[in-house]
Amino acid sequence: MTVITTELQQAFDKIVQYLPGWQIRPPENAEPTYVVLVDGPGGAQLVVHEVWDHQHRAEISGTFPREYTPRDSDRLKITIDYTRDPAKVAADIQRRLLPAYLGQYDAALVYKARQDAYDACEEAMLKELEALFGAEAHCILCPDNWHRSAEVRVYGSDERPSVTVTASGHSGKIRLLLSDVPFHTAKRICQLVADLVPQAPGLSTIERVGEVRPSVSLP
């Protein structure tokens, strides 16, 4: 495959020689590209692209694991004149970008590892509870950029309640929601809960929704 290199690529072939631990990712096809990817230690990566309204200038920014991009990542960008001496450009990158970017990147990896552990805990709890309900349970794991839903759902019938179990890997606890529960079943569940969670003497946790409480005048 004959790769058509651009002036930007040619310049960075020389610049990365002064960036220990970094190397240009080979192009995936023969088409000329105006974006250069530079791979670094631990999965870090720099993205270099032309600044269209400024000749011979490029913007450099760092990438992060998906869903873990810092809110202030826009500050982690610099522009350089890639026709300058390669050693001086590399020194600029090392001074102006790499310390801040790599610090944020390492923090993102730590956060991601912690969140992955929480997610694994949630999934393990849900799988164990799902097994209790049998084949009719539906384990839902729906990660996206803004919200993560991890729950088991069991759809009810005339004689059986609907059940939704939501797990929290952060606390190791679950949220149990029952709906359409026949009275005799609800009574058994409430008795089980009462036996498992005894209340302190004189402490009432029962409140009727819509109950009108007498007003109290403070002295």
Report the DSSP beta bridge partners of residue 165.
152, 176
At 165-214, the pLDDT tens digits run 787 777 778 888 888 888 888 888 888 878 877 665 554 555 555 554 55
pTM: 0.69
In the chain, domain spans:
7-96, 119-196
CB 167 within 8 A of CB 176: no
Tokens of 85: 């001496």
Q: Which of 12, 85, 91, 4 is nearest to 46 (CA)?
A: 12
Residue 47: Cβ-neighbour burial (10 angstroms; 0-12, 13-18, 19+): middle
Phi, psi of 91 (to 5 degrees): -65, -40
Q: Which of 92, 93, 60 is nearest to 77 (CA)?
A: 60
What are the Cα distances from residue 104, in Å, to 22, 71, 74, 77, 94? 17, 11, 12, 13, 15
At 55-73, the pLDDT tens digits run 889 999 999 987 788 877 6
